[in-house]
Amino acid sequence: MKKYKIRYQDLSVRDNLRRKNYITSFKKIMKSGIFLMGKELNSLENKIAKKFNRKYCVGTGSGTDALYLALRALSLKKGNEIITTPLSWVSTSNAIVLNNAKPVFVDIKDDLNIDESKIERKITKNTKAILFVNFTGNSCNFSKLSKIANKYNLKLIEDAAQSYGSVNNKVKSGSMGDISCFSMNPMKVLPSLGEAGMILTNNKKYYEKIKILRYVGTVNKNNCIYPSLNFKMDTLQAAFINENLKYVQKKIKKRNNIAKIYINNLTKKIITPKIENNKLHSFYSFTILVNNRDQLMNYLKGKGIETKIQHSPLIPHQSAFLKYYKKDIPNAEKIVKKILCIPIRDDLNQKNIKYIINSINNFYN
């Protein structure tokens, strides 16, 4: 296995204070004996709900759980359609299909998010919701999406797995639409040390149903109302997320600083993300669009720089979703061949950043 000088991600916990606080949390939970749905989770749910000005928050076992439960709350029927993006992790569309609905893919814009101008032509009498993804941490235009949803009486579900901390026109990711879903696995900007997710809503009916579905469809553990599975968050993960909340804004600021250095210094022969005045980008990833992508990836590997492709193949090109593929996503198909994600860890130092920039620029020169 190639040993990289600069890993794409480094999830090791090097900060002594944070490590000490994690261990303290673990000891408290071991002493309490409450390893599921403890007071740490209640505290986290209250904090997250307040932060995003939502009435209700439900912690889940993963971001995938959150998406599945959010759609289950809509009581979808077989034949219902959900409009979504072809460029995302498969969890987005898996949640749709596992709720007996059909994903309808709408092409993307050059910013990698769903193209709002192409949504209306895909709406039918069977369309029930738009499930949009804030890809790479870049929040979608909620104003445009909400106008479409209101016009056609559709629900809006926000897949905010990659966008904790992002803002678009003063609207926070996590506060967009009927239900918002976060992932908080170790790769995310606000991480746990395992799998975890969050659901946010202002709808009491959805909230009550999701809480029941989270716990095998039961009320008070005894009365099963809906057939469901276990989607609970571990108390320990809630404690870790509570600890990481202390650092998340500093982390996003550091990532934005690194992004600005990349944008200002990388060769103009590649396309970099834009930092817009009306947005705060959380930079879950720093995704560049390049020609000769595979050659560049191998070149950087030779230089000891690890990169990733997020996400190829497109969802409708995956074996499980080929039957939903309509050959009408040309921009996504063009862009996915150019996507490359370079390191934007908040622990990168100036030497690392300069080395990455010089390596990429030298390849194109």
Tell me the C-alpha distance between 241 and 41, whole Å: 9
* Domain-located, residue 7: no
Tell me the C-alpha distance between 262 and 354, whole Å: 9
Angle between helices 248-265 and 350-364 (to 10 degrees): 30
**pLDDT of the residue at 193:** 97
pLDDT beneath 50, residues of the chain: 1
Shared domain check, 271 and 225: no
Tell me the C-alpha distance between 183 and 290, whole Å: 28
* Domain-located, residue 5: no
Selection from 180, 204, 228, 208 nearest residue 63 by Cα: 180
Shared domain check, 108 and 57: yes
* Domain-located, residue 6: no
State pLDDT tens for residues 5-27: 999 999 999 899 999 999 999 99
Domain extent, residue 80, equals 16-244
State pLDDT tens for residues 311-354: 999 999 999 999 999 999 999 999 999 999 999 999 999 999 99
Selection from 90, 96, 52 nearest residue 70 by Cα: 96
**pLDDT of the residue at 2:** 59
Shared domain check, 172 and 25: yes
CATH code of 140's domain: 3.40.640.10
Shared domain check, 51 and 93: yes
Shared domain check, 297 and 186: no
Shared domain check, 196 and 268: no
Q: Return the half-sphere exposure (C-beta side, CA atoms, 13 A cut-off) of residue 177.
A: 30
Number of domains into which the chain is organized: 2
State pLDDT tens for residues 260-297: 999 999 999 999 999 999 999 999 999 999 999 999 99
Shared domain check, 144 and 20: yes
- CA 89 from chain center: how many Å? 9
Shared domain check, 63 and 173: yes
Q: What tokens does 50 get?
A: 């307040």
Shared domain check, 225 and 103: yes
**pLDDT of the residue at 1:** 45
Phi and psi angles of residue 350, each rounded to the nearest 5 degrees, phi first: -60, -35
* Domain-located, residue 10: no
**pLDDT of the residue at 222:** 86
Residues in the chain: 365
* Of the residues 226, 244, 262, the one at which a domain ends: 244
**pLDDT of the residue at 220:** 85
**pLDDT of the residue at 221:** 81
Shared domain check, 252 and 226: no
